[in-house]
Amino acid sequence: MGRPLIYEIIEKPVTSCIIGLCCAIWFYIQKKSIGYSQVGLSYETAIEGHYWRIITSAFSHISVIHLVFNMSALWSLGVVEQLGHLGLGVQFYLHYTLVLVVLSGALVLAAYHVLIQRFKLEIFRRVTAVGYSCVVFGWMTVLSVKQPSSKLNVFGFLSLPISFAPFESLIFTSIIVPQASFLGHLSGIVVGYAISWGLVHGMNNYWAVTLLWWTVLIFLLSLKHSGACDFGFIEIEPVADASLPSIGFIESGNGRTLQMSSLPVGASELV
């Protein structure tokens, strides 16, 4: 008889919270009939300033199969939280999950840019990616380097040696699910190796909070700029010299208001 689920949840607090968040977002998307184009990440929307989509695309899933596949793999990878003796653990998992979300999304956009501008493949201009797979593939890669003897369990019955799981899963999903984002998954693998080999390192509480602060700030400002959401407490106004942004507070009827200067300004894939 297996251990009660409550003990597993306690041992994987970050993983459990992320799974709960993704499930809640999926339920909201289904209830509100939101399409992938409204939350997904594409090159075309990125160059329009919709940087907030790097975050929303990572935590959004359109189909229940897509959600179940990613969350079942993530649950298995949550073992990273229990490997403090290998230099991993809860804090490492929390810090580098944020890194994986941001860097893998940026790397996907960089790949689209090269394919569009260098190779003139205009089809990638409107390809829209959604899903948590970038992060899942990233953690697969980290675990394959840090603890190659582990197993990856998917759907509760499919078990893969973790040392081969990143590329096995990359090939498997590309064959079984043709609309799966090869570039998105590959980006997660690349960032995962960068973390494992120490190319991306030094994340502590200070840098994690700093990265989170800038991520939230850019998220909110890009939402405001794109018109996707209206925040009454944020005002974005031009200044005389647009190359010199200013940040300050102005008095309003309801209190202090943040004032910032403004700077000049298709198909879907499951990730």
133 catalytically annotated = yes
Residue 173 CB burial class (10 angstroms; 0-12, 13-18, ≥19)? buried
How many residues does this entry show for the chain?
Answer: 271
DSSP 199: S
Position 150: which residue type?
Answer: S
3-class SS of residue 130: strand
185 catalytically annotated = yes
Helices 89-117, 133-146: inter-axial angle, 10-degree rounding: 120
Closest to 220 (Cα-Cα) out of 208, 205, 235, 209: 235
Of the listed 61, 66, 185, 225, which one is catalytic? Answer: 185
Position 229: which residue type?
Answer: C
Tokens of 226: 């794109």
Q: Are strands 151-154 and 158-161 parallel, antiparallel or unpaired?
A: antiparallel
Of the listed 16, 104, 133, 181, which one is catalytic? Answer: 133
Say if residues 155 and 71 touch (Cβ distance below 8 Å): no
- Per-residue b or e along 19-50, where b marks 16 or more CB atoms closer than 10 Å to that residue's CB: beebeebbeebeeeeeebeebbbbbebbeebb
Q: How many CA atoms lie within 13 A of 199 on its CB side?
A: 10
**What positions carry a catalytic annotation?**
133, 185
